[in-house]
Copies of this chain bind each other. A is one copy, B any other.
Amino acid sequence: MAKKQKLKIIPLGGMNEIGKNLTVFEFGDEIVILDCGMTFPDEEMLGVDLVIPDMSYLVSNKDKIKAVLLTHGHEDHIGGLPYFLRSMSNVPIYGTRMTIGLVERKLKEHGILSVAKLNCINAGDTIKLGNYFKAEFIRVNHSIADSVGIALFTPVGTVVHTGDFKIDPTPIDGKMFDLSRLGALGDAGVLALMSDSTNVERQGYTMSERTVGQRFDEIFAAHPYERIIVATFASNVHRVQQIINAAIKTRRKVAISGRSMLNVIDVAIENGYMKIPEGLIINIDDISKYKNSQLVIITTGSQGEPMSALTRMAFSDHRKVEITKGDLVVISASPIPGNEKTISKVINELFKKGAEVIYKALAEVHVSGHACQEELKLILGLVRPKYFIPSHGEYRHLATHAKLAEAMGVQEKNIFIISIGDVLEINKESAKVTGTVPSGNILIDGYGVGDVGNVVLRDRKHLSEDGIIIVVFSLNGKTGKIVAGPEVVSRGFVYVKEADAIIESIKKVSIAAAEEAIRKNKKPGVDWPAVKNAVKNALSEHLHEVTKRRPMILPIIMDEGK
């Protein structure tokens, strides 16, 4: 039976876009899910807090789901879980200890830890899932500890998914990408490879995380008298360990600032991912007891996030740390695209306070967690898959990765650039996109899940550009006479002092338009929608003429004859 049947691969996120990774593998009546991420809203999603994949396909197939497998603990791979668990809490979740530790923290915050079936695995483990699937976890290197890729053994062959990865020959934890296992899988024959495309535009190799540690040692040695403040990604446990190592070597104490940094360090210590000598970490409240030369502060905010610890320090809004001359700030991160300007503002403020600032433009204090071209070729060369599905990237990355695979010998017809919602059906004989399932972005705003859609976003955009003008008056529904108003209220339109003349003109135009609409009406009573539209159109035209703006116009007409 399985001979003719095909494996379905359905990305619900992370494909042809950045973030909210979620891939569905379906065979017969069984489903295995790889990762369950979220993403942060882009600038057009005004007021939205976060974005998760549309999971309606999963909800309507929830009895089929055997497991969620997690590759690592970054938000774009685990952040969708609290929403997934709302209707599918019985599904077991598998990940390494670091990953599960972070998931536990997250679910606790959402108050749903008790319902989740969390399972820790180790790299190298294989687990059986339902009748059709077996999953093997393969050690990879990435910018968070204990990351894995997955080999999924299915009735039609093996699918290898790299997860997010780089190949680090000198990793901080000594655990290198398990290339030999990958090669063995390749030798045995791999049906399909899904591989991380993030850095496919970069030639060569991504530098080892260890090179950053050497740079820290140099910087610390060159600044013996300064207080050193290092901002980095909270989740990069190995980076934090290297900062701590540099502190130990220079006999400095370490204080931690930022909730997520404290959180991740807790998880890392609990699970044995970090080595910190007794007494090294001091409370941020106690930093005044030490000299500048005795201190390192590790902080969040390397992306210039408005509420982060580093941003608050820069803008003198941090209760514990004040930046002054004598401080050295090291920003150990690259800007995520879109964050360039906010980081730049923070750097400017730090300079103004007299701090010395070391950041990417001037010094190599960061390396990427994703593989460059030569590493991607290595993976293709080891796995030698029949089918190749470039993953984890924007379209440009997928297309460039596809070309790379072709150059590495994968046949063009066997390379599939797919989008979220596409159903790719494959077996040894053939592969084809056969249809689509519901997919897209679900926007989370406050407690609301999916109640903010295009109409609401369009309105928010309109409101943000030229504000709103509200015109209220009361009409007698029988006589058609205006009995009260108009009252005109505006917000975000024009500075009130300048607005008196405009407000008066708005009243005049509104009344004229309403009265004309009432006069034109041949039927008995008042045609309320017609009056509203007349006021709206007349005002819109009038305001564009005198101000060249198009505020949202909201006529509210109350019926007084009721």
Contact = CB atoms under 8 A, between A and B. Distances in A.
Q: Top 3 nearest A-B pairs by Cβ distance? A: A446-B548, A464-B464, A47-B465
B396 A351 contact: yes
Interface string A466-509: 11101010100000000011010101111110100000000000
A468 B472 contact: no
Greatest chain B CB density within 10 A among A395, A447, A456 is at A456
Nearest to A460: B492
Interface in A526-540: none
Given A494-B452, A556-B487, A344 B467 contact: no
A445 interface: yes
B352 A395 contact: yes
Interface stretch (A161-169, A176-184, A239-247, A333-341): A333-341
A341 B448 contact: no
Interface in A349-399: 349, 351-352, 357, 361-362, 394-396, 399
Interface of A: 42-43, 46-47, 201-202, 337-338, 340-341, 344, 347-349, 351-352, 357, 361-362, 394-396, 399, 445-448, 451-453, 455-457, 459-468, 470, 472, 474, 484-485, 487, 489, 491-496, 498, 546-549, 552, 554, 556, 558-560, 562
Nearest to A554: B489
Given A447-B547, A456-B493, A463-B491, 15 more contacts: A47-B464, A47-B466, A340-B340, A352-B395, A447-B548, A453-B495, A459-B492, A460-B465, A462-B492, A463-B463, A463-B464, A463-B467, A470-B554, A474-B484, A484-B560
A554 B487 CA distance: 13
Contacts of A457: 492
Contacts of A552: 491
Given A344-B394, A362-B201, A495 B455 contact: yes
Contacts of A202: 361
